[in-house]
Amino acid sequence: MKILALDTSTEYLSLALWLDGQILTYDVLAGQSHSQLILPALRALLNQAEISLQALDGIAFGAGPGSFTGLRIACGIAQGLAFGANLPVIRVSTLLALAHAAHAKDVASQHVIACLDARMGEVYFAAYEKTASGWHEALPAALYKPEAVPPLSGQGWVGIGSGWATYGNILQSVYADQLDLTLPDEHPGALSIAELALPLFAAGQGRPAAEAAPIYIRNKVALKMSERNTL
């Protein structure tokens, strides 16, 4: 199986090529330059692997939640490349990608609270549990004030993502001794997206390029001045 994975949901640009178990990755702090960097970086990665886009089996992308602009870039690039090369696509939740990354860093991470800073005093949040059949969604992805995140049962939870960097004290006060570890500096990575997409592609679950779409949780891009003053 040969797939390309990409993510631009945060300030990082993350790319990965999975080539029958050989892995090539590219991660850079792009800031607001994703649209300028992504195509040259993709070409360089394909050239490094000495493979054409048409030789791949599919394209996976981080569909969200995350930056509105970043999600549109990832979806648009994945869709455009897939159209041109006649490849299927699979969208992967960025929060699930975080959970997968936590497990990859610490195989004991069977219970993961993935949390991204959503700006405007809120976080994108989901909780996952690793089972023999894969990841189970303990709490679905949603938007919360950090002090209003929902309760969880059990111990041994691992917190991961930029939400823990921005609102770590608040989140830790909510979950207290249920937490074993936090990984606040991790971002959704293309390697995790590729690994999550692999069994889906293998099972023939890739979708036509026309069906590629971001996962939005927040409907509003920005607050009015009057709303900001209430934060």
145-191 residue pLDDT tens: 999 999 999 999 999 999 999 999 999 999 999 999 999 999 999 99
Rounded CA-CA distance 167/150 in Å is 15
Q: Is the pLDDT of residue 230 over 70?
A: no
Rounded CA-CA distance 12/32 in Å is 9
The predicted pLDDT at position 224 comes to: 42
Considering the chain, what is the average pLDDT of its residues?
92
Pair (25, 63) in one structural domain: yes
61 lies in a domain? yes
pLDDT-based confidence at residue 99 (cuts at 50, 70, 90): very high
Domain count, the chain: 2
Q: Is the pLDDT of residue 12 over 80?
A: yes
185-225 residue pLDDT tens: 999 999 999 999 999 999 999 999 999 999 999 864 444 43
Give the rounded percent of residues in the chain with a pLDDT score beyond 70.
94
228 lies in a domain? no
230 against 101, higher pLDDT? 101
Query: Rounded to whole angstroms, what are the CA distances from 5 to 17, 44, 132, 150, 167?
Result: 6, 14, 24, 31, 29
Pair (42, 102) in one structural domain: no
Pair (87, 20) in one structural domain: yes
Kindly report the pTM of this predicted structure: 0.92
Residue carrying the six token digits 């950090």: 146
Pair (196, 89) in one structural domain: yes
pLDDT-based confidence at residue 227 (cuts at 50, 70, 90): very low
Burial of 11 per CB tally in 10 Å (0-12, 13-18, 19+): middle
Q: Residue 148 maps to which CATH number?
A: 3.30.420.40
Pair (58, 104) in one structural domain: no
Q: Is the pLDDT of residue 89 over 50?
A: yes
The predicted pLDDT at position 219 comes to: 67
Rounded CA-CA distance 98/130 in Å is 13
Pair (12, 83) in one structural domain: yes
44-64 residue pLDDT tens: 999 999 999 999 999 999 999
The predicted pLDDT at position 226 comes to: 42
150 lies in a domain? yes
